[in-house]
Amino acid sequence: MRKRVFSVLLTIVLLLTMAFSVSADVSTPSGQQMTENTHLVFGSDRHGTSITPILSSVAAALNGEAVDFVGLAGDMPHNVDSYRTSTLVREIRSAGVAYSQSVAGQSYGNHDSNGTDDAGIMLPDRRSSGLYYTDTDFAVYIIGENDMKDAVAAERTSAEFLSAITNSALDGKVLFVMSHLPLHDRRNDNNGAPIWTTALNQAAVDRELVFLWGHNHSVESYKDTDVFLVPKGGSIRPEDSIPTALNFTYMNAGYIGGSETQRNGYMTLITVTEDTLQFRGFTASGPYTGNWNTDCSIPRTNGYVAEPLPEYPENSNLIVNGSFSDGAYAWETSGGTVIADGTAQLASGSNTDSLKQLIDVEPETTYTLQAEVISGGTEVTIGVKKLAGRYTSEYTACTASGTAVVTFTTGSGVESVEVFAEVLRYQSTSDTVILDNFVLVKGTEIPDSENPKEPDAPDEPDTPDVPVTPDEPNIPDQPDTPETDAGSDGDSGSETPDSGNIPNPEEPDTPEVPDTPDESQVISAELLLNNRFAAGADYWEKSGSTRICTGYALLSSGKDTDTLKQYVDLEANTTYTVTADFLTEGAEIQLMVGGYDGKYSSISETYTTSGQGSITFTTGTHKAQIKIAMQVLRYQTDTSDCTVYGLSLVKAA
C-alpha cells in the first residue's frame, strides 16, 4: 500500500515538474527583459531541411529578445502528414530562441501534396487562406496555394481577404501576408497574381502591409538574383502582366533548403518598431552576407499610395531586359557569352556563344525582331525559332555593324517563340560581337518609342501679322480765307471749317511680344529615375556587394568591385552635369560617365573625402544611351562603407 501511495505521489511530482518546464518554454526566460520591438521570422522551401541551425543564428543576434512569430511559406517535407505546427514549435525551442508565445504558421507549397494540420492551416483541399493570427503589433494572413494558382479561386478569396481585414481591430497593426507562390512568378502557375496584386494594393492604402513569398528559390527571384526586397513605391510585373506600382513591401521569405549554389539556406528576420521595419537575412553560420539588402530598414507609413507608373504602350517591346540594363536577367546564355555593361558579348572560339529568351506570342500573327550589332567581321545569327513548329526558324546573319531585322509570322497554335543570337565556333575571325537593344513587337515596323530617332527641328513660329497702316485720308481743299476789314479785332467774320470733317484714324495696336524667360529661372528636369533611392533599388543596376536601402546606397571595397549605375538616353550635342552626394571615410569612390561621345568613351572623378562631386560633359553628334555610375574598386586598404545619398543629372545651365 505504501509503495502504491509513494508511486502516485512521485507521478504527481513528475507531472508538476513537466508542466513547469512546458510553461518555461513558452515564456520569456527568467531574468530577460522584453523590449518594445516585435520580431518575426519567415522562411520558405525547407524541403525537409532543419531550421534549427538558422534559428540559432537568429537567437544569437537577438541576444535574448523574444521572437513573436515564425512562419513558413510552403514546401516543407513532401509528406506533410509527418510534419505539424507542433513540430515547428519544438524546432524553435530547441534552437534556443526566446519565444514570447507558442505561435507558428505554415502555408501550402506545390510540393505539399497532402496532409492535415493541428492548427488548421494545411488542409487537404489546399484552400487554406485566412487571417491566421493577430497580436498587439501585427497580424498574419495566409494565402493558400490554390488561391494564388487559380484565377477563379483568387477572385473569390481576394474579396474575402478585403472583407476580413476591414475589422477595426487591425488598425495600426502591420499586416504580413504569406504565400508560397509569388506575384511575379514566371512558371505560369499563379494565374491569380494580378488579382491579388490589386487586392493587396487596395488593402495597403490604409495600413502597413508586407507580402512574403517563396517558390522561386534563388535563381528566379524578383528582377535578378541579388534583389529580394521591393519597398513601397517599387514595381513588379504580376505574372508578366502590365508593370504595377506597389503600395506594399514585397519580400522573399527566405529559401531554407539551400546548398552552396543556392544561398546555403537562409531565413528573414523582420523587426517591427514604432517607426520602421527592419529586414535581416540569417544563415546557419550567421548573418547572410550576399548581395541582397541584408540589413535594410524602411519607414512605417501605415498606409501608402505609390506614384502611378508611366502609361504602358499598347504595342511595347515583348522582350524582357532587351537593353541588358538588368544584366543577364531573363536571358539564358551558353558558351562564353558575357553580359556586362549593358551589352551582350559573343565571340568565336572553341565553343558556340549564344543567348536566348522564350517569348509568349499569339498564333497567326506577324512580328518584327530588331537588334543592334557591332561586328568587325565575325558572323552572328539573330532570329527566332519554333515560330511554326519545333524545327522552324527565321533569322538573319550579320558580319558588319548595323541593325538586324527579322519579320516573321507565327503558325497556327503557336503561343511562344524563342528569340536567339549565336556566334558559331571556329570562325576565321574571333573578334567579339556586341549586341544591344533587342526589340520584338507586333507588326512590321518598330514604333518610334522603341526605336528613338532624332527629333525633327521644330517649325519656326509664325510671325504675327502686322496690321496694315491705312492710307492717309483725303483732306478736302481748304476754303478760301475771306478778306477781313481793316482795324477789326481779328475775328474772321466767318466760321472755321469743322475739324470733325477731317478723318483722324487711331494708331493700330502694336502686337505684344512675349517676355523672354530669364535663364536663371529655368529649372532643368531631373533625368535619373529614383535618383534619391526613395524607391530602394528601382531603376538601378548594381554589382559586387552593393546594397541599396530606402534613401541611400552602400558600396565598399572587398574582393569585388562595388558598382551602382543607371542608363539614360540623352540628346545629341548637349551639355549635362551629373552630381553625387556621398560620404566616405577614406576609401576611394569614383563618379563615372560612360558612352557620352561614343560607346566606349568615359570620364570619371575620384574622391577620398565626403562631400559632393560633379562632372560636366557634352554628348556627341548622335543621340545616345549613357551610363551614370558610382564605383568603389576592390582590394583597397580602407574597407569601410561609402554611402551614396543620391545622384542628379540635368542639362547644364
Question: Which tens digits make up the pLDDT trace of 451-475?
Answer: 544 444 444 444 444 444 445 444 4
Q: Which long-range contacts (CB under 8 A, 24 or more apart) does 594-601 make?
A: 594/341, 594/626, 594/627, 594/629, 595/624, 595/625, 595/626, 595/627, 596/570, 596/620, 596/624, 596/626, 598/624, 599/374, 599/434, 599/624
Least confident piece of the model among 153-162, 197-206, 292-301, 393-402: 292-301
**Cell numbers 531554407 label which residue?**
256
Least confident piece of the model among 157-171, 224-238, 533-547, 624-638: 224-238
Share of the chain above pLDDT 70, in %: 71
pLDDT band at 19 (very low <50, low <70, confident <90, very high): very low
- Torsion, Cα of 287, 290, 291, 294 (10° steps): -10
Phi-psi region of 152 (alpha: psi -120 to 50; beta: other; left: phi over 0): alpha
- Residue 223, SS3? coil
Q: Which residues of 224-250 are buried (b: 16+ CB within 10 A; e: fewer)?
A: bbbbbbbbbbbbbbbbeeeebbbbbbb
User: What is the rounded average pLDDT for all residues in the chain?
Assistant: 76
DSSP conformational letter for 81: G
- Indicate whether 309 pLDDT > 50: yes
Evaluate if pTM is beyond 0.75: no
pLDDT band at 521 (very low <50, low <70, confident <90, very high): very low
H-helix or E-strand spanning residue 84: none
- Name beta bridge partners: 38: 272
**Cell numbers 485720308 label which residue?**
473
Q: What is the pLDDT of residues 172-198, one digit of tens each?
A: 899 999 988 888 765 567 788 889 999
H-helix or E-strand spanning residue 603: strand 602-607
**Cell numbers 520580431 label which residue?**
39
Q: What is the pLDDT of residues 314-344, one digit of tens each?
A: 567 888 888 887 788 789 999 999 998 889 9
- Indicate whether 78 pLDDT > 60: no
In the prediction, which pLDDT does 450 show?
56
**Distance in angstroms (rounded) separating the CA atoms of residues 602 and 592:** 7
**Distance in angstroms (rounded) separating the CA atoms of residues 69 and 76:** 17
- Indicate whether 367 pLDDT > 90: yes
Closest Cα to residue 422, out of 449, 450, 457, 393? Answer: 393
Least confident piece of the model among 64-78, 117-131, 383-397: 117-131
More confident site: 23 or 372: 372
In the prediction, which pLDDT does 16 show?
41
More confident site: 205 or 80: 205
Instruction: Please say whether the beta carbons of 180 and 107 come within 8 A.
Output: yes
In the prediction, which pLDDT does 229 show?
78
β strands within 119-208, DSSP E: 130-134, 138-143, 174-179
- Indicate whether 385 pLDDT > 90: yes
pLDDT band at 63 (very low <50, low <70, confident <90, very high): confident
Helices (H) and strands (E) in the chain, counts: 6, 35
Q: What is the pLDDT of residues 420-451, one digit of tens each?
A: 999 999 999 888 999 999 999 888 877 665 55
Instruction: Please say whether the beta carbons of 417 and 392 come within 8 A.
Output: no
Q: For the chain, how big is the Rg over CA atoms in Å?
A: 36
**Distance in angstroms (rounded) separating the CA atoms of residues 75 and 606:** 49
In the prediction, which pLDDT does 407 show?
93
